[in-house]
Amino acid sequence: GGAWFGPNTLAMLLDLFREFGTKDNAEGGGSGIKMVVGNTEVGIEQKFKHARYPLLVRPSERIRTLFDVFVTEGHLVVGACATLARLQDVCADLAASQPDDDAINTNQDSADVANRLADIQISRRRRRRTCEPIRDMLRWFASTQIRNAACLGGNLATASPISDMNPLICALGATIVLASRPA
């Protein structure tokens, strides 16, 4: 075991990593502080690799940027701590959804309506091109119990050679957004 932290804000989480995130605080090959979300990899590291983490952090779900999965204009945004099951559900919903016909004002100029319809078609194709492969991959990824606990950030951070998601998000042209606090 070790000391557990449960920060409620992104700033608190980043401060913990800035203060304790060095190898100087580590025992048995672990880093100074380890973030635990699903515990699907950390548990293996501790049990079989005998890694010891004197400081463990489990961010609060109040830090919505880490746990949310949502769509912005042209992008699927996945928080690092969002479970793979949540990502699978959102992608299944988005892949199946149809554009909202009410979003088109038919009283507009016909060129405006045509442009809006073209934008909807592009958006729909982009959404399907992104969400369908993720949904399909996650259907076969591990077990339901693992998908309910594991998160995409952990899958990326461990860089497991058997990871199915890492090559997929690379092929989809994903962008990873990192955060840090100045010293």
Residue 16 gets the label, from left (phi > 0), alpha (psi -120 to 50) or beta, of: alpha
If phi > 0 it is left, if psi is from -120 to 50 it is alpha, else beta; for residue 173 that is: left
The more confidently predicted of residues 26 and 148 is: 148
Mind listing the pLDDT tens digit for each residue in 96-122?
876 554 454 545 566 665 666 666 666
Residue 3: closest CA among 44, 26, 33, 37: 33
Lowest mean pLDDT among 16-25, 31-40, 67-76, 144-153: 16-25
Torsion of CA 51, 36, 86, 10, to 10 degrees: -140
Q: What average pLDDT does the chain have?
A: 83
* pLDDT for residue 177: 92
Backbone φ and ψ for 151, nearest 5 degrees, come out as -125, 160
3-state secondary structure of 77: strand
Confidence of residue 128 (pLDDT cuts 50, 70, 90): confident
User: ∠103-99-65 over CA atoms, to 5°?
Assistant: 95
Output the pLDDT for position 89: 94
Phi, then psi, of 107 in degrees rounded to 5? -80, -5
How confident is the model over 49-88, as pLDDT tens digits? 888 888 999 999 999 999 999 888 778 999 999 999 999 9
* Parallel, antiparallel or unpaired: strands 75-78 and 69-72: antiparallel
Specify whether the CB–CB gap between 2 and 52 falls below 8 A: yes
